[in-house]
């Protein structure tokens, strides 16, 4: 890449800082608009007139981690949001009167996790909430008044994974795991008991779920892969059990369903293979989407709708710019631009994300995405002029997926001079049950082979320099990083592990209590830590077992309050590396959990990661500078391995004295 073609360095703050406005939602009557926006650097809920979003004011007062999840109540005068403490995922539920900004803690119990079960227009001042306050493993259902916080027990949990409720707050169905890793759906009886309604085999359990009821309550919409490979949308007659097909795609599972907010009929169904596409069951919705595609560039997402379905909030998603939000009046067929989510991204030299299907060594089609630095592809053939250092960014889950669109890490790394590759390895969701089931008991084996095959493809295509390939990711992506540096120690030049497990036995032994009902799912698909035979198998698939094989630099990031991947997962591999005199840099945040929510912490870790990658791969980086000063960062081990980190920590300590 010639010097004159190198784009200017985009500041980290622009790429990873708080958005200007995001999570835009209309009240159900369409009179108000809400969104998340910073107040003194902390995300809070803002509310204003729907016709004048610029007149919005903050109605919440969070000063710590920032609010990430909120929604409107059907009163149209309240917003509901959840917040935990320092990443512990013991979510509390709050109600805010948008007229007075008065906040009510609806679940004021320490060490308990609240989940919103159902919000219904039939009961605007009450919601169904799931709480594990009686038994930590199981969430009971309560009816909670959003004005007073008064709650009443509706359904005690007798060992179920979840409940399925309707708009009248009736508990219609319940689900529980079966010992073979399948799932059973049970129906409530008039006598207050339960009877089996249907069973979901193990091979279908991750690709089959309920969507909701029709207006009569006699039909259940389900996403189901039973009797097929990809998950289709079906309707189930609850009286007879008869099933009928509504929409399916031969390559992809259902990824989204549009259901009329009031009439409860299915209007459209989306499927996402490389890109998202829709099938329309209601012609009027097809006409709306046809018009909306003429309004702006990008994939159209309907992110909020009024109860009468007249007004929508529509988001336009692109790969090389911010999300654009519009307020759409269906009656007038008129879309009015509101704002973008990140104004400072506008006009920046951002890179295009390329979808590609890569063949695995055993014949699977692996949907992947790669991004090239600006100026590296002079003839526009989606291949760089010369092989580049490359970073493989591995998604978490593992039962999740990467998709096309703006990705801050892709943009940051491409701007620094790297090719970036994200791989939907087997076990990723959205590609049919055959693809997801090909990952059973394949952690650290065929799932990792898919990543290696994708790297080999990038090398063969002249995209990646084989001597300068890094691997990084969070959660399962962190585990994949550790696998990469232990089981294939010569393949990667370095690794960045964020909250990744190092020992599958201790990971499964320390899952949160409310995950216990799902233990048979993990036992079947990963390995059963409750048997001696599988404990040995899990040890074979654990990076900690092979720590002495690590040859390349490793950066580890961890939240001290992580309830999913405990701090011990990082502590033990760091200690094992120290015992063998293998260098490692360990970054720890005392006020974070499974990932880094506070923007100051996120910014500081990304600054460290950027400097680390530049040292290992030779790319550009923005110096760490002051980006550690306002964070809670601690580096127990290895600060000297990252350029500028020791100085940045000392500067932060001086400031905070």
Which positions are catalytic? 475, 562, 594
Residue-by-residue DSSP string for 343-393: GGGTTS-PPPEEEEEEE-TTS-EEEEEEE--TTS-TT-SSS-SS-EEEEEE
Alpha-carbon distance of 18 to 342, in angstroms, equals 8
Structure tokens at 203: 């091979």
230 Cα distance to chain centroid: 22
Cβ neighbours of residue 328 closer than 8 Å, sequence gap 6 or more: 288, 292, 311, 312, 313, 314, 334, 335, 336
Q: Is 490 exposed, middle or buried (0-12, 13-18, 19+ CB in 10 A)?
A: exposed
Structure tokens at 27: 């009240």
Alpha-carbon distance of 22 to 28, in angstroms, equals 18
Cβ neighbours of residue 527 closer than 8 Å, sequence gap 6 or more: 441, 443, 504, 508, 534, 537, 538, 541
Which residues pair with residue 271 across a beta bridge?
254, 277
DSSP annotation of 601 reads H
Residue-by-residue DSSP string for 115-172: EEEEE-TTSTTEEEEEEEEEETTEEEEEEEETTT--EEEEE--SS-SEEEE-TT--EE
Q: Residues of 329-359 as b/e, b for ≥16 C-beta within 10 angstroms?
A: ebeeeebeebbbbbeebeebebbebbebebe
Alpha-carbon distance of 338 to 34, in angstroms, equals 12
Q: By the 8 A CB rule, do 311 and 50 touch? A: yes
Q: Is 85 exposed, middle or buried (0-12, 13-18, 19+ CB in 10 A)?
A: middle
DSSP annotation of 457 reads H
Radius of gyration, alpha carbons of the chain: 25
Q: By the 8 A CB rule, do 83 and 506 touch? A: no
Cβ neighbours of residue 171 closer than 8 Å, sequence gap 6 or more: 141, 154, 155, 163, 164, 165, 188
What are the helix (H) ranges across 422-566? 433-437, 446-460, 476-486, 504-509, 519-525, 532-540
The closest alpha carbon to 25, from 58, 66, 72, 59, belongs to: 72
Is residue 398 reached through a cis peptide bond, with omega within 30 degrees of 0 on the bond before it? yes
Collapsing DSSP states into helix, strand and coil, what is residue 206?
Answer: helix
């Amino acid at each position: 890449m010639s010097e004159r073609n190198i784009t200017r360095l985009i500041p980290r703050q622009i790429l990873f800082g708080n958005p200007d406005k995001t999570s835009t939602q209309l009240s159900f009557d369409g009179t108000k608009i809400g969104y998340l926006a910073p107040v003194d650097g902390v995300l809070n809920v803002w509310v204003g007139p729907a016709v004048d979003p610029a007149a919005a004011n903050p109605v919440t007062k969070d000063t710590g981690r920032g609010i990430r999840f909120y929604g409107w109540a059907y009163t149209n005068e309240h917003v509901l949001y959840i917040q935990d403490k320092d990443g512990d995922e013991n979510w509390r539920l709050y109600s805010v009167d948008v007229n007075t900004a008065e906040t009510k803690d609806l679940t004021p119990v320490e060490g308990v996790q609240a989940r919103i079960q159902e919000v219904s227009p039939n009961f605007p001042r009450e919601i169904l909430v799931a709480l594990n306050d009686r038994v930590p493993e199981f969430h009971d259902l309560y009816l909670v008044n959003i004005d007073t916080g008064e709650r009443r027990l509706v359904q005690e949990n007798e060992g179920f994974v979840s409940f399925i409720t309707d708009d009248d707050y009736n508990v219609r169905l319940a689900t529980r795991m079966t010992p073979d890793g399948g799932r059973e759906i049970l129906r409530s009886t008039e006598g207050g008991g339960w009877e089996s309604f249907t069973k979901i085999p193990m091979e279908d359990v991750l690709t089959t779920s309920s969507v909701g009821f029709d207006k009569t309550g006699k039909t259940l919409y389900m996403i189901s892969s039973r009797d097929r490979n990809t998950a289709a949308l079906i309707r189930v007659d609850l009286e007879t059990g008869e099933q009928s097909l509504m929409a399916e795609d031969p390559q992809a599972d259902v990824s989204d369903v549009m259901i009329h907010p009031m009439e409860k009929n299915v209007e459209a169904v989306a499927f996402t293979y490389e890109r998202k596409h829709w099938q329309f069951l209601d012609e009027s919705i097809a006409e709306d989407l046809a018009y909306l595609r003429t309004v702006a560039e990008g994939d159209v997402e309907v992110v909020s709708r009024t109860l009468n379905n007249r007004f929508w909030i529509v988001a336009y998603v692109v790969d090389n710019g911010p999300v654009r939000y519009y307020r759409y009046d269906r009656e007038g067929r008129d879309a009015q631009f509101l704002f973008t989510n990140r104004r400072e991204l506008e006009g920046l030299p951002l890179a295009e994300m390329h979808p590609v299907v890569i063949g695995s060594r055993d014949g699977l089609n692996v949907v992947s995405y790669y991004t090239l630095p600006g100026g590296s592809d002079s003839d526009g053939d989606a291949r760089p002029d010369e092989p580049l250092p490359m970073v493989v960014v591995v998604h978490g889950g593992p039962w999740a997926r990467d998709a096309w669109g703006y990705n801050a890490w892709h943009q940051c790394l491409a701007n620094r001079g790297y090719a970036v590759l994200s791989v939907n390895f087997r076990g990723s969701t959205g590609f049919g049950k055959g693809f997801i089931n090909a990952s059973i008991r394949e952690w650290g084996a065929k799932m990792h082979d898919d990543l290696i095959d994708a790297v080999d493809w990038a090398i063969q295509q002249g995209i990646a320099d084989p001597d300068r390939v890094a691997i990084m990711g969070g959660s399962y992506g962190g585990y994949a990083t550790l696998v990469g540096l232990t089981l294939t120690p010569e393949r990667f030049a370095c690794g960045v592990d964020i909250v990744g497990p190092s020992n599958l036995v201790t990971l499964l032994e320390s899952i949160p209590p409310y995950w216990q009902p799902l233990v048979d799912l993990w036992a079947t698909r990963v390995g059963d830590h409750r048997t001696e035979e599988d404990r040995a198998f899990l040890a074979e698939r654990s990076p900690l077992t092979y720590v002495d094989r690590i040859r390349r630099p490793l950066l580890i990031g961890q939240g001290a309050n992580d309830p999913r991947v405990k701090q011990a997962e990082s502590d033990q591999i760091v200690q094992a590396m120290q015992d063998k005199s293998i260098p490692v840099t360990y970054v720890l945040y005392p006020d974070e959990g499974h990932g880094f929510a506070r923007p100051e912490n996120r910014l500081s870790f990304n600054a460290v990661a950027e400097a680390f990658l530049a040292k290992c791969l030779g790319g550009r980086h923005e110096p760490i500078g002051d980006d550690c000063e306002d964070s809670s960062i601690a580096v127990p081990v290895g600060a000297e391995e990252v350029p500028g980190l020791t100085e940045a920590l000392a500067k932060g300590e001086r400031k905070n004295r």
